[in-house]
A = this chain, B = another copy of it.
Amino acid sequence: MTILSFLTRASGTFQGYPAYSKLLVLCTLSSGGLVAYSESQPDIGTPDVDPNQKEPKKKRVVVLGTGWAGTSLLKDLDASLYDVQVVSPRNYFAFTPLLPSVTVGTVEARSIVEPIRNMVKKGRGEVKYWEAECVKIDAANNNILCRSNFGNNLVGDREFLLEYDYLVIAVGAQVNTFNTPGVMENCHFLKEVEDAQKIRRSVIDCFEMAVLPGLSEEERRKNLHFVIVGGGPTGVEFAAELHDFFEEDLVKLYPMAKDLVKISVIQSGDHILNTFDERISTFAEEKFKRDGIEVQTGCRVLSVSDKDITMKMKSNGEICSIPHGLVLWSTGIGTRPVVKDFMEQIGQAHRRVLATNEWLRVKGCDNVYAIGDCATIDQRKIKEDISSIFKAADKDNSGTLTVKEFQDVIDDLLIRYPQMELYLKSMHLSDVKDLLKDPQGNDQKEVDIEGFKLALSHVDSQMKSLPATAQVAAQQGAYLSKCLNRRLQCEENPEGPLRFRDSGRHRFRPFRYKHFGQFAPLGGEQAGAELPGDWVSVGHSSQWLWYSVYASKQVSWRTRMLVVSDWTRRFIFGRDSSRI
């Protein structure tokens, strides 16, 4: 975090001085692994020892998934305290923010992956990894069914049961087609490394096919029309990377394709990058316009066939069909079948996404945690607890709350209900007792329950669900590892806020997300960067900042070296267009 804020400031200083920006990269690179998603290293808890027992049986922790959430948990989890097993069909962690770069070879697929066995062997204690997919969670019996997908030539049982004391679901999400016909069959996706490799081959196929002898110009144009559905960061980055790939490399090898290539981004909303600051969104749209990348906003895709994509303009209801050579579908995420099935078991069938409490514990299933894209935190509304809070705060049972009594519980309130802090910020209230002012703005010495309800009535409007990003997943993994490491310690000395509806304190402080900003590389060495403290930066310096941060965030020195050498190679030799 310190380095990021330094960079934020440095970015402004270096604006317009690209030569200094390079220095910046060097210094960030040398900082290496210091910048991590989690804020601090968790303290180490005492081992789970029963003094009456000579060989204490360790609790079994099973982790599903090796993405951002799962890996971040494993990195910090003290495996000497538990019997830890990891189940995932991917035996590696992939640095997904660089997937768009892999689609065109700016970075190689191998450079962004790290074997999970490599990562866990560095920690304390043994972590067992099984390359398999969890196909069924049996919440009643505390076990899961796993299945491996190896070739038939190998011998042995491909299915096995694992029992757990604690289960961590970190399986991520799957593609969401919104039931649009033809999407599954005719579109590319960009969630896995294999997807990126497939896109890379397909892009080259489009070019090789388009220049074959005997095609009409119309046919060539059709094959060279690349359509991206979804104007989020993934879609926009892919469009930018594809444009760079063509302009910087392919045009030299396929000069006849020069005026035939077209890239279109289809967005249902009014702007691309609509989760970003408006300045970045506008900058991106202008940059794309200059580059000849067509952005069609307000369009809803109705269906995708192998050769055409049919869509409806929201403004006038017009339906049109355009031919394509390749479609990337990058809109929204859906719940995986194994999670859906689990939700039905625990009474969450009516929900869209698996819900956890603020401690990342699945609602209705005490020994199961869910982190990352597969889950969402069901934040408690202050409104629901208002009577209990009042009761707890009103120590003298007078039926009214004095300022002093309110101040006594405010710290716990701020921790327990994060929306409280956001509300105070949004209302520019420096002192919490300002909350208790009467409608005319006069200080009050005491409030009754009705007055208290009124004072806090708008606090819940500040509740926000967290975005499905790597940053959130990684912070959740790190948080959960800290909780698991200090489970016994905190059982004895709870460090969480007051239990307003109950007695005593919560064992841990609830999970709190800290937003470190986000990047949108836009091609041509330009990027948009949104940084903490409402900083926004666009242009070349942001691209260098992007290089620096992404290099420093790599999970190992190996991938860091590979990613940086891939960038260097691209600068010197360009990208490889071999169809492998």
Which A residues form the contact surface with B (CB < 8 A)?
Answer: 90-92, 105, 108-110, 113-115, 117-118, 121, 130-132, 148, 150-158, 160, 162, 186, 193-194, 197, 202, 204-206, 208-216, 219-220, 222-223, 252-254, 306-307, 323-326, 557-558, 561-562, 565, 569, 572-573, 576-580
Contact = CB atoms under 8 A, between A and B. Distances in A.
B253 A154 contact: no
Contacts of A118: 253, 577
Contact of A252 (B121, B204, B253, B325): B121
Given A91-B578, A117-B253, 4 more contacts: A117-B577, A118-B577, A154-B205, A156-B214
Nearest to A557: B573
Nearest to A325: B154
Nearest to A162: B213
A64 to B, nearest CB: 15
A573 B118 CA distance: 11
Contacts of A153: 186, 306-307, 324-326
A558 B220 CA distance: 31
A323 B156 CA distance: 13
Contact of A569 (B204, B220, B562, B572): B562
Nearest to A192: B580
Given A117-B254, A153-B186, A212 B148 contact: yes
Q: What secondary structure prevails in chain A residues at the interface with B?
A: mixed
B204 A323 contact: no
Contact of A208 (B91, B109, B114, B306): B91
A130 B210 CA distance: 10
Contact of A209 (B108, B150, B572): B150
A568 to B, nearest CB: 10
A293 to B, nearest CB: 21
A83 to B, nearest CB: 13
Contact of A561 (B148, B157, B569): B569
A283 B229 CA distance: 60
What is the total number of copies of this protein in its complex? Answer: 2
A579 B92 CA distance: 7
A561 B573 CA distance: 10
Contact of A212 (B160, B211, B215, B576): B160
A150 B203 CA distance: 11
Contact of A223 (B155, B205, B216): B155
Contact of A154 (B108, B155, B206, B579): B206
A150 B209 CA distance: 7
Nearest to A216: B156
Contact of A576 (B115, B151, B162, B222): B115
Given A110-B580, A155-B307, A306-B152, A115 B212 contact: no
27 contacts: A92-B578, A108-B108, A110-B580, A114-B578, A115-B253, A115-B576, A117-B253, A121-B253, A130-B212, A131-B208, A131-B209, A131-B212, A151-B202, A153-B186, A154-B205, A154-B209, A154-B210, A155-B215, A156-B209, A156-B219, A156-B220, A156-B223, A193-B580, A194-B580, A557-B573, A558-B569, A562-B569
7 closest A-B pairs (Cβ-Cβ)?
A92-B578, A131-B208, A156-B215, A117-B253, A558-B573, A156-B219, A113-B578
Given A131-B208, A155-B223, A214 B115 contact: no
B130 A197 contact: no
B580 A197 contact: yes
Given A115-B578, A579-B131, A208 B156 contact: no
B558 A150 contact: no
A203 to B, nearest CB: 12
A241 to B, nearest CB: 17
B212 A132 contact: yes
Nearest to A202: B151
A213 B154 contact: no
Contacts of A252: 121
Given A160-B214, A222-B155, A109 B325 contact: no
Contacts of A213: 130, 160, 162
A194 B216 CA distance: 32
Nearest to A324: B153
Contacts of A572: 558
A556 B565 CA distance: 17
A188 to B, nearest CB: 10
Contacts of A92: 578-580
Nearest to A126: B255
Contacts of A326: 153
Contacts of A253: 115, 117-118, 121
Nearest to A558: B573
Nearest to A327: B153
